Amino acid sequence: MSSMDYSGPDRRRPGTPARSGEKTTILLVDDHALFRVGVRNILEREPGFDIVGEADDTRGAFDLSVQLSPDIILMDLSLPAPGGIETTQRIKRELPSAGIIVLAVNEDEDALFDAIKAGAAAFILKDVTPDDLVAIIRRVAAGEYLINDKVFAKPAVASRVLKEFRELAIYGQEAAPIFAPLSPREVEILDNIAQGMTNKQVAYALSISEQTVKNHMSSILRKLSVNDRTQAVVYAMRQGWIRMPED
């Protein structure tokens, strides 16, 4: 295992918003040195990007992620065992604030499903153009989950995601894997609101406070980039995340 740390001692802690003028910190994870060099050369030309480290295996990726708390992690899907997906999931458990962009050789539906389940913010192919890669990094750094566009363009993958959400609602939240963009609790709240419930009624039904419901709704609106609960419900129904209102 080899890894390189390019950071200074005063790295920002996970979950802390970037200060004005602060650069987006990026960790590169790939077992091919030539690929890392190419990506580094592209990203170092961009204003506002700071490559803080490189790793060529799963252990190095995890260790540097915890040590550096990067904003963005470019994760090779085809790392040697335990692989890029498991490493993504492990990192997200320790560093939920990181935006992980999975890079793959092809659009395998199983890998795409596993990536969203692990908490990846984007799933892109390695033949992505430099301009597109830069744009994707900037959008993920701004909090977007671009993986949704790919997942819900594939009905088979979307149905698997919905099925897992339903199972989580049945079996409880404790063992819930990380999903994007909405947590199982947020889907549950949106599902109830779609049935015509007020925030107060949702709070009573779920045995939580009305303020907690409001906090979740603020998170839902931000994640879906919509302005109100009606737009959120319509969007979620179109994606198949929640059921249609009952008569």
Domain's final residue, options 99, 123, 151: 151
- Same domain flag for 142 and 32: yes
For the chain, the distance separating the N- and C-terminal CA atoms, rounded to the nearest angstrom, is: 59
Domain holding 42, by residue range, is 3-151
- Same domain flag for 143 and 194: no
- Same domain flag for 88 and 166: no
**CATH code of 113's domain:** 3.40.50.2300
- Same domain flag for 135 and 163: no
| CA atoms of 55 and 36, how far apart (whole Å) | 9
pLDDT at 43: 96
pLDDT at 186: 85
Q: Position of tokens 């892109």? A: 124
Residues of the chain with pLDDT under 50: 1-3, 5-20, 170-180
- The verdict on residue 244 lying in a domain is no
| CA atoms of 84 and 98, how far apart (whole Å) | 15
pLDDT at 21: 63
pLDDT at 165: 59
pLDDT at 106: 87
- Same domain flag for 16 and 130: yes
